[in-house]
Structure 1
Amino acid sequence: MRFLDEITLDDGRVRLEPLGHEHAEDLACAAASLKPLWYTFVPAADAVPAEIDSRIALRDSGMMNPFAVRRLSTGEVVGMTTYCNIDQPNRRVEIGYTWIGASAQGSEVNPAMKRLLLAHAFDECDAIAVSLLTHFHNRHSRAAIERLGAKLDGILRNHRIMPDGSLRDTAAYSILPNEWPAVRNGLDARLA
């Protein structure tokens, strides 16, 4: 399989569905539940349709495979995630551009979502590396990535220009195939 293949992933807790405009209303509610933070991006509720358009355009150009995240216990779509920075010839991919609404934070949603994406990348797409990047100052995201068992590859200084013009230092993490069994066991234990 390829990272760009249109797929639905489901573990009984969350379903990752190909992102579409049918998800906009739930996503707008989820986005409105979040307090804006200077070091991360979540679209404003009224900007959700444009964000969906942007992610679909990136999918169509071969750069991203975007998903809506549905929490099955409530049936609500509570966020977005993607395979991005896809390098199919080298079997490398990043999991990123992820956000979930306040009602799903600290729940089973994030570990279940990561478990599905990582399993698909390693077990179905034969990935040689899965990356996870975040703003250096996003301590919450960095802690969540480290809880997965991802290893810090380094800090990419002045990696991106933020919408406000500030420069972002990016903490770059990855998981390799030989690390996947331990990461999988850790996620399975968290979800048990």
Structure 2
Amino acid sequence: MTITLENTRVKLSPLTLNNYHHLIEIAMEPKLVQYSPSKIDTPEDLRLYVKTALEAQKNRTAIPFIIYDKEKQMYAGCTRFGLINWHNKVLHIGWTWIGKTFQGTGLNGEMKFLMLQYAFENLKFDKVEFRVDERNIRSRKAVEKLGATLEGILRKDTLMLDGFKRSTCCYGMLREEWDTLKHTIFAGFKPFT
């Protein structure tokens, strides 16, 4: 399943082994994914990261995207739908990283809007989840700003690259909450075209 989500600000295209090279420089930014168990800071690590995402896509459990900021006319990072459970109609939005140049510019909100809109309105899923390292206050606030509800914390559930065992905050958003959120929090956002 390959899809493209796009509005006037951002374009989310399928991430592939033919376009990931646009992200190499961004992936090498220091501490870009310090709260992630993934290693992406060398071209080889980034390629393996993309291959893993594409393998999950082949198994219908992920849909990875490369992010293009139309305002800056530059590639910005990547994100994906993951842990897709077609039977229970639940998926995760995550594996998101954007370069420091794009952080705090509204780009993340625009792309999350497109992804939520697609998950609830096109795929007709019942729930979208977000998982965030408990220490990552910036990302937690961003997810809360989207209107997601903190449902609990999985204590020491993920082994990080440095050997630290992180705790993970679990956020969720339900389809029946989407209509309200779409007309309040996301009122100024552009739908996909």
User: How is 1:11-160 mapped onto 2 (pairs within 5 angstroms)?
Assistant: 11-36=7-32, 38-40=34-36, 41=38, 43-46=40-43, 47-160=45-158
Displacement of 1:34 after TM fit?
4.2
Q: How many residues align?
A: 188
Q: Distance in 1 between matches of 2:33 and 2:52?
A: 21
Q: Secondary structure at the match of 2:75?
A: strand
Structure 2 CA distance for aligned equivalents of residues 80 and 130 of structure 1: 18
Instruction: Say whether the 8 Å CA contact 2:12–2:68 is kept in structure 1.
Output: yes
- How far does residue 73 in structure 1 lie from its aligned partner after superposition? 1.8
Q: State how far apart, in whole Å, the 2-side matches of 1:12 and 1:131 are.
A: 26
RMSD: 1.8
Q: Percent identity?
A: 30
CA-CA distance at 1:181 after TM superposition: 2.0
After superposition, what is the alpha-carbon deviation per residue over 1:9-35, rounded to whole angstroms, capped at 9, x for unaligned?
001111110101232232112223343
Indicate the structure with greater helix content.
1
Q: Which amino acid aligns with 1:23?
A: N
Taking a change above 3 Å as real, the CA distance of residues 43 and 56 of structure 1, as seen in their structure-2 partners, is same
CA displacement 1:123-163 (0-9 Å, x = unmatched): 01111110011101110100000000100000011222222
Structure 1 residues without counterparts, runs of 5 or longer: none
Structure 1 SS opposite 2:87:
helix
Residue of 158, 172, 175 corresponding to 2:173: 175
- Name the SS for the 1:133 alignment partner: strand
Q: Give the C-alpha shift of residue 189 in structure 1.
A: 4.0
TM-score where L is the length of structure 2: 0.89
Flag the 1:186–1:43 CA change in 2: closer, same or farther, 3 A. Answer: farther
CA distance in 2, matches of 1:42, 1:138: 17
Aligned counterpart, 1:188: 186
Output the amino acid matched with 1:7.
Answer: I
Decide whether the 8 Å contact of 1:80 with 1:98 is kept in 2: yes
Counterparts of 2:65 and 2:39, CA distance in 1:
15
What amino acid is aligned across from residue 18 of structure 1 in structure 2? P
Rounded Cα–Cα distance in structure 2 between residues aligned with 1:156 and 1:182: 28
* Mean Cα deviation higher: 149-158 or 160-169: 160-169
SS of residue paired to 1:95: strand
Q: 1:37 to 1:121 in 2, by over 3 A?
A: closer
Rounded Cα–Cα distance in structure 2 between residues aligned with 1:189 and 1:74: 23
Question: Alpha carbons of 1:137 and 1:144: their partners in 2 closer, same or farther (altered >3 Å)?
Answer: same
AA aligned opposite 1:139: I
TM-score (norm 1): 0.90
Deviation at residue 107 of structure 1 after TM alignment: 1.0
Residues in 1 aligned to 2:106 and 2:188: alpha-carbon distance in whole angstroms = 8
